[in-house]
Structure 1
Amino acid sequence: MGTIHYGSGMDIHVDDRTLAHLKVAIITKLRRNESFTLSWPHPDDHPEGRSTLWFHPAVPLRFVFDEPDAPELNRDWLEQLMRSANSTGGIELVPEQIGTPPSA
């Protein structure tokens, strides 16, 4: 289980494979000096709901992975995350769909 450390004290826990894909999408946006939101559903062991976080290039950010080796990225999933990153709704964290073309 990896972690996104955002700002002072905000930690988001997500599996390493998902985190590897999110890292690419997040860094791409921040490299362009673009702010955006990231939304995700609460895990099963938390109260029902979802959270949204506003990302800004000036806020400190760190990605921590439990696994030493980076996974191979799923191009379709990454493209889906990037499309949502460029929308007005921001990045919607959706599950990886292996073998399924990305939705339009």
Structure 2
Amino acid sequence: MRTENFQTLAVVRGRRIDLDQRPELIKGSVEFIAPAEYMVRPPMPPVYFFLIDVSISAVRSGMLEVVAETIKSCLDRLPGNSRTQIGFITFDSIIHF
């Protein structure tokens, strides 16, 4: 039996004792996709930023090469067609834009 989500109820209110510490139990979100007639302008294009470690240890371990090949293989499949915006930020001891 899984017990990580189990919590006893407060005697006075009959609510979970941890309700104030668990926002996911009392706050929800709903996403509505508006049809075109509700939009003044087209939706913003998707933007992807890749943060890449280019430190000497990343280069020596081969991680940088794997990351570059993986990103390269995924670029054509990102949603948004020609409107998609892509950015790269690299870092070692400092950040490179």
Same topology, TM > 0.5? no
Larger helix percent: 2
State the TM-score, normalized to the length of structure 2.
0.26
1 or 2, which has the higher strand percentage? 1
Query: Relative contact order, CA 8 A, sep 6+: which one is greater?
Result: 1
TM-score, reference length from structure 1: 0.24
Q: Which of structures 1 and 2 has the bigger CA Rg?
A: 2
